[in-house]
Amino acid sequence: MKVILANDGLAQSGIDLLKSEGFDILTTRVAQEQLANFINKNQITGLLVRSATEVDKKTINACPGLKLIGRGGAGMDNIDVKHAESKGIHVINTPEASSESVAELVFGHLFNGVRFLHDSNRNMPLDGDSMFKQMKKSYAGGIELRGKTLGIIGFGKIGQATAKMALALGMRVIFTDHHVTKTTVEIPFHDGRSVKFELQAMDLDVVLKQSDFVSLHVPAQEKYLIGKKELAKMKHGAGIINTSRGGVLDEVALVDALDSGHLSFAGLDVYESEPKPEIKILMNPKISLSPHIGASTIEAQERIGVELAQQVIKLLK
């Protein structure tokens, strides 16, 4: 019997599917320093992880019986993919399964930002009973998303899912991507009808200059993709959302842009110093915050579980 370790958990739908095909599934959470020993001791064939577990070169070398490494989600920066593949190990992920969930979180942060909900939710419990009229006035200058321009940096599955939601809200969408130059985005509605939009890629500078809001959807970078120079090119009063990876956006430059009033707000789900975000980020009243939960919906986890299970069965059975 082939044994699979889902070290960061796996939806019951995925567990059931694997068991039905004769796999033995372990969901024990093994500490990083004990991972290789546990894999070898229990003759683990496949290792499934999310973002919490690192599968580096040292771990891969220490586990000669490992045949497959699976990542629940799109990002693969916690796995040494090239080294694993050089050892003949299958490396899989689920790039589409969490797209809708991340895109919805982007709009959660956008709605927070344009209506100051992140800040009013902090202050209403403290002063709502004594300063209601003053707070009503201070939070009264919100704006609508309809008719505004959303610039998307990185137009893979998540970027395109974000574009669909923006278009459905009546926003203009522009994007930049190293690989996608032109694409058709189709928006499905509940009654079976759909609408298609033709979109053409633009240069990064154009996207930054024309967008009312910018949303980042790129893999981990060796250096900042958006730093002081790029933030300065954005419209005065614009907002920026990062649900991709910490280190893509220069947080020091971001705080400066917010404090100076050049940017009106930011929404962050990921952080440079994750899992301990900087206090200047956590306490800034212009930043909407969430703890890296882009893919953490029940529906997304079910899709991820099934998709991982299907790939494991195809490759290992």
| From 230, 245, 251, 307, the catalytic residue | 245
Closest to 159 (Cα-Cα) out of 199, 88, 217: 217
In the set 21, 274, 278, 302, the catalytic residue is 274
CA dist 174 and 48 (Å) reads 35
Placement of tokens 């301990």 in the chain: 276
CA distance 169 to 153: 19
Tokens of 53: 């577990």
| Catalytic residue flag (residue 83) | no
Secondary structure E strands in the chain: 3-6, 24-26, 44-49, 68-71, 90-93, 149-153, 172-176, 182-188, 194-200, 213-216, 238-242, 263-268, 287-289
Q: How many Å apart are CA 68 and CA 92, to the nearest integer?
A: 8
DSSP 206-238: HHHHH-SEEEE-----SS-SB-HHHHHHSPTTE
State the catalytic residue, choosing from 109, 217, 292, 303: 292
Q: What are phi and psi of 111, to 5 degrees?
A: -65, -40
Q: Based on the residue annotation, tell me whether 274 is a catalytic residue of this protein.
A: yes
13-20: Cβ within 8 A, 24+ apart = 13/302, 13/305, 13/306, 13/309, 14/304, 14/305, 14/306, 14/308, 14/309, 15/305, 15/309, 17/305, 17/306, 17/309, 17/310, 17/313, 18/309, 18/312, 18/313
The answer to whether the beta carbons of residues 149 and 172 sit under 8 Å apart is yes
| Residue 227, both tokens | 């730093």
- Please report, in angstroms and rounded to a whole number, the separation of the first and last CA atoms in the chain: 10
Q: Residues with catalytic annotation?
A: 245, 274, 292
